[in-house]
Each structure stands twice: as C-alpha cells, then as structure tokens.
Amino acid sequence: MAQESSSNPTDIEASVSSLNFLFNGHLLTYCIGIACKLNVAGIIAEADKSLSLQELAEKIPGEINFSYFKRIIRFLCAFGVFQESLIEEEGRYSLTRLSELMRNDIKGRISLKNGFEMMVNPTSINAWSRLENCVRSKKLKIPYDEAMSDSSCHHAKEGSIVSTESSPHEHSQQHEDEYSHEHDESIYETHILMKYYAHGFKELEDKKAHILDLGGHSGSTLGVIKESFQNLACSSLDLASTVETLKQKPEGVEIVSGNYFKPETIPNADAILLKHIAHMYPDQEKCVELLKNCKQALSESGRIILCECVIPKIGSIDVDSENCKRAFMADISMLLFGVEARTMDEFLAVFYSAGLKVTEFIETPEAMTQIFILEKI
C-alpha cells in the first residue's frame, strides 16, 4: 500500500529536495573516480602537508583544466572526502579518513582506489547506459557484456562475464587481471575477515590445518592471514590461465592450478575459503554443484568459510538501516555483470541442497562480507 502523500507545502519541498539529492548521487561517483585517476590523495600524502589547488594541479602529470579541477575538489570537500582550510588567506587541501582510502602508495594499507577507477572507466559507464535496454528485454542481457560488444569501446573483447559456455569464474579472473585491483580489495576484505573471524583462524592454526582459497587469484588474502597465523598451511586455487600470468606470490602460500567445477583438481583441505564466489552463480543448481565440490574436498570435520552479501527478504526492508542500503547497492552493482545477491532464506536453501549446515553466522558492517561458517550435515 502506498504511503499517503502530504499536501503540506513544506513536506512537499522536503520530499523534492530529498529525491533530488538521491538522484544526483552519481555526481559523487564520477568525481571520486576522477580524483582517484588523478591520484589527488597520493599527491597530498607524498607532500606530507596541505596543498593549494594550484600546487595540486601542478603536480598532476599532463594538462589540467584548473577551473574544472577546482570545482571537483571543492565539491568533494563538501562531502568530507577532502578537507578545505583557509591558511593565510589561501585555500589549502588535505586528506580526511575517507581520502586516505584513495591512496595505494603503502603496501598492506587498505585501498579502494583501483576499484573506484574501474567503476568509472568507459566500459563501466557504457554498461550503465545499457541497463534500460536490458531491463526491457525478456531475454537475459548483461549490461557489461552489451558494453563490451560496442565497437566504439576501444578495449572491447569477445566473450561475456557470465556466459552459458564458460564459467563466470573464468571470465571474472580475466577482467580482474585487466583492472588489477584484486590485491587492494583482498587486503580490505581480509581486514574484515580477520577482525570478525580471528577466533576461527586461531582454532585452525592450533590444529596446523590446511586452508584453501578457491578462486584466490594471487593468494593475497591468504598471504595476509598467514602473517598472523603462521602455522596454517595455505593454498590458493585458480585457473591455470590465471596462475601462469602471476608475477609474484605471498610468502608461505602455495598457488595451485585447478577449477572448482572439476572436483578432481581441488586439493583436500580442512577449511575452504569462498570469498565472493557464490554470487557469481545465480542459478541455484550451479551454486549447489560448487558447494558440493567444496564439501567433497573437505576433511571430515572441515568447514567452509563463505563471505557474501545478504539482502533482506521481501517485506523486511528497513529504510533506516545503513547496512540494508549498502546490501542493495552491492546487489545493483552486481547486476551490471549478470550476477546477484541472495536473501538469507535463499542461502539456507542452497546450503541444505548441498548437504551443508550453518554452524555460525557473523554479521559485519561491510555489506559484501557477511560470513557463513558451513559444515557437513
């Protein structure tokens, strides 16, 4: 039932203002992305002091339209991304806790810079412009694939992120290589994992257990975990085509070639980490197959550590919950690639069909990283 609309002019004015604010959220996306591409946060960090706009512009390689640059940086200051101060009658600009996350100049520091740059590249922007056509089509069309097939896109490639002929895992790894942001995101997600599941890793370490990261790319997630839990035996499995291109691997992490849809290629393990893999298979049967393959590789008392976004079930949306909003934002981001988040009930149905039970569920403030601990039924 629709909410009653108010005829009070003040209420109408407030509603217009609120909806306009929501509609213009894309302005922040683009401006944060541009600031990342110009490495504004890195330049300020390197200077180790606040800088004027002129000083900032001079340190950016290539030509800069100063008027545009000034307006973008001051706009971001209004939202707390950078800080503006008046010192000796001159505007000076420094980092905030938000823009600290937009630099990637320190190894091991959590950075969102490369991921933000990926989301504002021409292909991603083109993909959003294709969304209406995909919504209006009864045939499944994937916005990112539609954008990639556009001959005007200079880096278009054949193939889709999710196709019926090859796995989303294979395509996602190809695009992760292209954008090279996997390491930054792994550090961030591992920070969440470590904070909320440290007791579980300690228990595994005491048993000198073997932990396997499926779809683990370069092994950077386990590399960070290994630093704190050194008695763990760590392996990261990925496609041979991905493993062959890796230039380095973390100390103490074995990199293994395999495919999680070919169970004979999955090594036995005491714990299997599945981080943002399940949502790549919106088809329930395929997701169940994936989990069954994992279960087959587990030791008798082994566990699966599954990290995923969980969206509210129908009728339970809480408009006052920031986590609720973030979960749906994550799901809409996935929509570009033809993948999707699940509700708790949908996850439980998948787990039960795969012969698994939830022994622990750990809620975190990060929408993409809710943690399920699964064991055999």
Which residues are the active-site residues? 279
Q: What's the start-to-end Cα distance of the chain, in Å?
A: 42
Contact between residue 252 and residue 215 where contact means Cβ atoms under 8 Å apart = no
Contact between residue 33 and residue 39 where contact means Cβ atoms under 8 Å apart = no
Cα distance between residue 45 and residue 103, in whole Å: 8
What DSSP assignment string belongs to 308-367? E-EEPPTT---TT-HHHHHHHHHHHHHHTTT---EEHHHHHHHHHHTTEEEEEEE--SST
The partner residues of 256 in beta bridges, in order of sequence, read 237
Dihedral sign of CA atoms 53, 55, 58, 61 in order: negative
Dihedral sign of CA atoms 102, 103, 104, 108 in order: negative
Whose tokens are 């003040």? That residue is 10
Contact between residue 91 and residue 84 where contact means Cβ atoms under 8 Å apart = yes
In the structure encoding, which two tokens stand for residue 4, read together?
């009653």
Cα distance between residue 318 and residue 323, in whole Å: 9
Look at residue 53 and give its three-state secondary structure: helix
Cα distance between residue 299 and residue 211, in whole Å: 11
Question: Residue 197, exposed/middle/buried by CB under 10 A (0-12, 13-18, 19+)?
Answer: buried
In the chain, the DSSP E strands lie at 82-87, 90-95, 210-214, 233-238, 253-257, 269-275, 298-308, 310-311, 342-343, 356-362, 370-376
